[in-house]
Structure 1
Amino acid sequence: MRRTLLAALAVMAQLISQAVLAVSGVVIDQDTLKPIAGALVTTSAGVIRTDDDGRFDIAQAVTGIAVRAPGYLRAEVKLSGDDPVTLALTPFRPKAVYLSVYGIHSESLRNEAVDLAQHTAINALVIDVKGDRGITPYRSQARDAIGATARLSQRLPPIADFPALLASLHAMHLYLIARIVVFKDDPLAEAHPEWSVRDAQGKPWRDREGLQWMDPFSHKVWDHNLDIAEEAARMGFDEIQFDYVRFPDRRGLRFASPNNQANRTAAIVAFLQAARGRLAPYNVFVAADIFGYVCWNQNDTGIGQEIETLGAPLDYISPMLYPSGFTWGVPGLSDPVTAPGQIVGRTLTQALLRTRLPGVRFRPWLQAFRDYAFDHRNFDAAAIQAQTHAADTNGTDGWMLWNPHNLYTAGDLPSH
C-alpha cells in the first residue's frame, strides 16, 4: 500500500513538473551544430546558463528568449508554442576601430571608418557614448537629469536621431560597442562635487589633463553610469564597454572609504556586478578595459583592477596592450615598441594562465598611433599586423584598434 502511494506521488510530481515547465531548448553553434555550454539565456523570468549539452529549461511561461555567448552574435526569438526551441548562434569575432565623440559626429571620419569594412577585416566599431571629457554624442536624458550635460562645441549639436544612426550601421553588418568612460568625469564632478575625488587637503583633485574624477566608492556615481549604459543598450548597441573603471593612479587622494587594495578591488568588482545585473534584461555583452600591466602584476596595480576577479562580472576583458604603454617593458624585453607582437602575445598568455579563461573571453586594445614613450616611431602596417596576428593566435574574441584621432589606413590593416 505504502509503495503504491509513493509511486503515485512520484507520478504526480512528474506531471506537476511537466505542467510547470514552460519552455525547454538547446543552444548550438550555427556552423558546427555543436551545443554551446554556458550560453546566457535571458527571458522575463531571469537569466540562466545552458548546461554542458547546451540545454536549458524555463519553468515559467515566457513569450521570447534572448541568448548570447562569448564568440558569437547575440540572438533573440519569439515563442509561438511550447515546443522545444533550438537557437543557433552565429560565430563572430569583432575586429574594431575606435570613434570618439567627435569621430562619430564627423560624417567624413565616420564614413572612412565604415568604408574599412569593405576593404579590410574590420567588422565592428567602438563608439564613445560618454567620452574622456564626459561628452555624449546624443542628447542624454541621464546627463540632463543629473545636471552633467556637456557639449562637444556650440557648432556641433548632439546627433538628432542617434538610434537611427546606429540602425544604419547595423544594416551594414557592423557590430557596435558603446564605450563609457566611468570614473573620469569632469562635468559630473562640476555638477556634484560631493561625489568627486579630493586631494590631501580636501580640495577637488584634477589629473594631468586638468580633469576631475568621481569617487569609485560612490553608489550614486555607479547608478548614473548605469543609467547611461541602459540608454546605450536601449538604443541598440551590441556591447557595453566600461573604460576608466578604476581608481586614479595617484597617491594621497581622499575617497569615501579607506584607499587600500581590498577596498579598491571590491569596489570595482561590485560596480561591474551591478552593471551586469542592470543590463541583464537587454542581452548585451558587458566588457571593461584594463591596464596592460594588470595582466602581469600580482596586486591590483594600485587602481582596483585585479585580473583574477574580473571574469565573473564580465563577458569580455579588454586589456590595453599598447606597446608604448609598457613603460618598464616586460621580462626579457626592455624596448616594447621594437616587438609589438611579443608584447601582445606574451601579455595575453599571462592573462590566460592567471585567469584560466579561454582566449575568447579577451578582446585586447591594440596600438594604431605613433609611439610617445620610446623612439616616437610610426606604427605602420607591420607593427599593427604583428599585434593583430598575436591576438588572433591566442584565440581572442577579435581585437580593437585605438587611434585618438580616428585615423586609420586600409593598407595598414589585415585583409578579410
Structure 2
Amino acid sequence: MGLQVGRRRTLVLVAIGLLVTLAIAAPIGVRAMSAAEPVVTGIDDGATVNTDALRALSVRAPEGKDISQVQLLLDGAPVQTRRDGDRLLLADPALPDGAHTLTALVPEKMMPDREVTMAFTVDGTAPTLSVDPAAVTDLRKPFTLQGKATGATVLTADDQAVPLDGDGAFSLKLPHAPGKVQLAARDDAGNSVKQEFMVPVRHPGMRGVHMTAIAWSSPALRDPVLQMARDKRIDTIQLDIKDESGEVGYQSQVPLAKEIGSTRGHYDAKAVIDQLHAEGIRVVGRLVAFRDPILAKASWTSGKNDRVIQTRDGRPWSGSYGEYAFTNFANPDVISYNIGLATEAAELGFDDILFDYIRRPEGDLAQMKIPGLQVTPEQAITNFLAKSREEVRERGAFLGASVFGIAATRPGPVAQDIPTMAPHVDYISPMVYPSHWGPGEYGVPQPESQPYDIVVRSLADFAAKVEGSDTQIIPWLQAFNLRKAYGPAEVQAQIKASQENGMQSFLLWNAGCRYDNAGLEPKP
C-alpha cells in the first residue's frame, strides 16, 4: 500500500513538472515563431549588383505582420520606397557605386525589433572594349583579333566565348580577317556592352597594268608584261574577268554565265593565278558589271525584259553602246550574276575584284525606264557595292570600283557618288586620263597636253571626297595615244601627280595591252 502511494506521488510530481515546463516553454516557442524577420529577395547577401538587379530587390513582411509596418534603411538612413502589392521596392534603385547596407525592420513595443540586414556592392559601370587598330593587308592570312575588355569577366565574339586574362586582355585567332566582329562583354554585376568592330583593312598598294583576257592568251602581249613584273617595274597584273562585250574570259561555273553562253576559254583562271602568285605578282580581276550586251540580249530575247535598262516606251536603252548595252543594276538577277562572278573569282584566288561600269548609262534619266528601282540610281549602285564587298571580303579579296573622272564633281550623270560609295569599297580608281578631259577642266587649258596639271588637280578632288574614310584612291593613268602621243614623259608626269597627292599606287590603261612606252623604273 505504501509503495503504491509513493508511485502515485511520483507520477503527480512528474505531471506537475511537465505542466510547469510547458507553461514556461510555451511563451518562448510562440515568441520565436512570431519573431520571424522580414524576407528580402532579389539579391544575395554580399553580392555585387547593378541597377537592373536592384530593381528586383523586394521586401515582404514577416508572418503575422502587414507590409505597412516594415521600414527600410539604406546605409542606416530611411530610404524612399514604393509598394507593389504585398512587397516593398526601392523607389529609386539607381544607387551610387560602392558598398551599401540594407536593413528591413518591423518595430516592436515590448520586444526587440524584427530586422534583417544585408550588405551588397553596387557596380553600375559597364566594361569597356578596346581593339588593336592595326590594319589588315592580307585578307587570306590567319588573323588575330587582340584587345582588352576592361572590367569584364565574360567576352564573346560573334557569340563564341573568348578567354580573358587577369586584366581583361584577349587574343582571338581566326582563319582569316572577317569584315566585322560582334563583341559582347559582361561583368559580375551584370553590366554589359556590345560593340560591332569593323576590322580595319588597308589595301597593300600596287603598280599594275591592264590586260584583257584575249591579250593574256597572246604570248606577244603577255610575255612583255610578265617581264615587267619580273624586272620589278610593276607588281600587279589586272586581268579581265568579264569585259565590255559581256564575255567571261575563263570557263566560269556560275549558272547564269553557262546558261547565256558568256564563258570563254581564253585562260585558265586558277592556273594563271597560281603561276603569278608563285612569282610574287598580285592579280586584280576587272569585272565589267552593268554594261553587258550578252546578258542584256539573252534576257531580252527570253522575255526577261526587266533585266535591261529601257527607254520610256519600252525598248532596250542603247545610247552610244549598241542595241543591247546596259543591264539593270536594280534587278536581282543582274545583281546576283555579277556578285556570283565576283565571289567565284575571289575563290579562285584573285587578290582584288575591281568593278568597272559600276554605273548607269549616260543620258537623260527622265527618258530611262529602270524596272524595280526603289531608290536613287546613286544609292542603288552603293547598295550593290556594299553587298558585293561583304561577299568578296568573306572570300579573301579586296574590292575596288572604277569611276569616271567627272564623278568627283558631277556624280548625277553616271550615278557615282564618291562619298557615298567610299565606305563600301577598299579603293576607288578614278579614270583621270588627260585625253578624256575637256579644255578648261580644273582650270587646265589643254588637259591632254598637260598631264601633270590635270591629274594632280583632279586627284586632289578625289582625295578630298574620301577624307575621313579608310578608302584609298588608286587611279587609272593613261598609257595610250589618242590625239597626242603618250610616252615615258607623259606617263611619269601622271605618276608624279599621283604621288604628290599621297597616292603611291596606280594602274596603267592601254586597250592594246602594250606598255613599252610607260618608262617605269624598277622598284627596289
1:387 aligned partner: 494
Q: Does the 8 Å CA contact 2:206/2:236 hold for their aligned counterparts?
A: yes
TM-superposition CA deviations, 1:167-197 (whole Å, max 9, x none): 0011111111110000000110122121111
Bigger relative contact order, structure 1 or 2, given CA contacts below 8 A and separation 6+? 1
Contact 1:36 1:50 survives alignment (8 Å): no
Give the letter aligned to residue 409 of structure 1: D
- The number of residue pairs the alignment matches comes to 363
> Which residue in the other structure is 2:298 paired with?
191
Using the alignment, how far apart are the partners of 1:4 and 1:41 within structure 2?
A: 49
Per-residue CA shift, 1:356-390, capped at 9, x if unaligned?
1479711000000112xxxx111110000111111
In 1, Cα distance between the equivalents of 2:312 and 2:488? 46
Query: Which amino acid counterpart does residue 228 of structure 1 have in structure 2?
Result: L
Deviations 1:251-270 (Å, cap 9, x if unpaired)? 222211569xx611110000
Aligned residue identity for 1:311: A
1:94 alignment partner in structure 2:
206
Amino acid aligned to 2:424: P
Moved more, 114-123 or 217-226: 114-123
CA–CA distance in structure 1, aligned partners of residues 465 and 282 of structure 2: 29
- The offset of 1:151, in angstroms, is 5.9
Using the TM superposition, give the Cα deviation of residue 121 of structure 1 relative to its aligned residue in structure 2, in angstroms.
2.6
* TM, length-normalised to structure 1: 0.77
State the partner residue of 1:317: 428
Deviation at 1:248, TM superposition (A): 0.1
Alignment counterpart, residue 171 of structure 1, candidates 278, 288, 295: 278
**Aligned residues of 2:488 and 2:517 also touching (Cα < 8 A):** no
2:69 is matched with none
For 2:474, the equivalent position in structure 1 comes to: 363
Q: Are the structure 2 counterparts of residues 133 and 329 from structure 1 closer, same or farther at C-alpha, using a change threshold of 3 Å?
A: farther
* 1:25 CA displacement: 8.4
From 228, 253, 256, the equivalent of 1:116 is 228
In 2, the alpha carbon distance for the partners of 1:172 and 1:41 equals 19
| Unmatched tracts of structure 1, length 5 or more | 27-34, 70-88
Match of 1:296 among 385, 406, 409: 409
Q: Paired residue for 1:275?
A: 388
Report if aligned partners of 2:358, 2:402 keep a CA contact under 8 Å in 1. Answer: yes
Counterpart pick for 2:175 among 60, 65, 75: 65
**Match in the other structure for 2:448:** 337
| Structure with the largest fraction of strand | 2
- Whether 1:235 and 2:348 are equivalent positions in the alignment is yes
Letter in 1 for 2:271: A
Work out the CA distance in 2 between the residues paired with 1:209 and 1:279: 29
Evaluate the alpha carbon distance shift between residue 38 and residue 139 of structure 1 in structure 2; reply closer, same or farther with a 3 A threshold. Answer: closer
2:98 corresponds to: none
Q: Aligned letter for 1:398?
A: S
Tell me the alpha carbon deviations over residues 228-277 of structure 1, each in whole angstroms, 9 at most, x when there is no partner. 00110011011111100000002222211569xx6111100000011012
User: What amino acid is aligned across from residue 253 of structure 1 in structure 2?
Assistant: M
Q: Is the partner of 1:337 in helix, strand or coil?
A: helix
Give the C-alpha shift of residue 91 in structure 1.
8.5
Residue 81 (structure 1) aligns with: none
Structure 1 145/248 Cα, relative in aligned 2: closer, same or farther at 3 Å? Answer: closer
2:448 partner amino acid: V
Structure 2 residue aligned with 1:140, among 217, 235, 252? 252
Q: In 1, distance between residues paired with 2:261 and 2:310?
A: 22
Structure 2 residue aligned with 1:256, among 337, 362, 371?
371
Q: 1:203 to 1:360 in 2, by over 3 A?
A: closer
Q: Per-residue displacement from partner, 1:284-322 (whole Å, max 9, x unpaired)?
A: 11110110011233xx23221011101111010111110
C-alpha contact (below 8 Å) 1:285/1:315 kept by paired residues = yes
What's the secondary structure of 1:286's corresponding residue?
Answer: strand
The answer to whether the 8 A contact 2:355-2:401 is kept is yes
Contact kept? 1:101, 1:129, Cα under 8 Å: yes
Moved more, 161-170 or 234-243: 161-170
SS at match of 1:312: helix
Q: Which whole-Å CA distance do the structure 2 matches of 1:368 and 1:187 have between them? A: 29
The CA RMSD measured in Å over matched residues stands at 3.7
Match of 1:76 in 2: none
Task: Give the deviation of 1:350 after TM superposition.
Answer: 1.0
Conserved in 1, the CA contact under 8 Å of 2:203 and 2:427?
Answer: no
Q: Is the 8 A contact 2:290 2:358 kept in 1?
A: yes
Q: 1:263 corresponds to which letter in structure 2?
A: T
Distance 1:343 1:48 in 2: 42
Letter in 1 for 2:412: T
Partner Cα separation in structure 2 for residue 95 and residue 149 of structure 1: 34
Q: Higher Cα Rg: structure 1 or 2?
A: 2
Note the C-alpha offset of 1:92: 3.6
Structure 1 residues 316-325 or 192-201, which shifts more?
192-201
The aligned amino acid for 1:65 is: P
Is it true that 1:407 corresponds to 2:514 in the alignment?
yes
Give TM-score, length-normalised by structure 2. 0.62
Cα 1:120–1:41 shift into 2, 3 Å: closer
In structure 2, stretches of 5+ residues that fail to align are 1-42, 54-119, 149-154, 162-171, 180-200
Deviation digits for residues 75-132 of structure 1 (CA, Å, limit 9, x no counterpart) = xxxxxxxxxxxxxx99842000000121122233122111111335311011100011
Q: Partner of 2:46 in structure 1?
A: 4
- Once residues 146 and 258 of structure 2 are traced to their aligned partners in structure 1, the CA distance between those partners, rounded to angstroms, is 36
Q: Residues 10-159 of structure 1 correspond to what in structure 2 (within 5 A)?
A: 36=134, 58=157, 60=160, 64-67=174-177, 92-142=204-254, 147-150=259-262, 157-159=265-267
Contact 1:367 1:403 in 2 (8 A): yes
Distance in 2 between residues matched to 1:101 and 1:388, nearest whole Å: 26
Distance 2:368 2:203 in 1: 45
Counterparts of 2:459 and 2:146, CA distance in 1:
26
Separation in structure 2 between the aligned mates of residue 280 and residue 352 of structure 1, nearest angstrom: 24
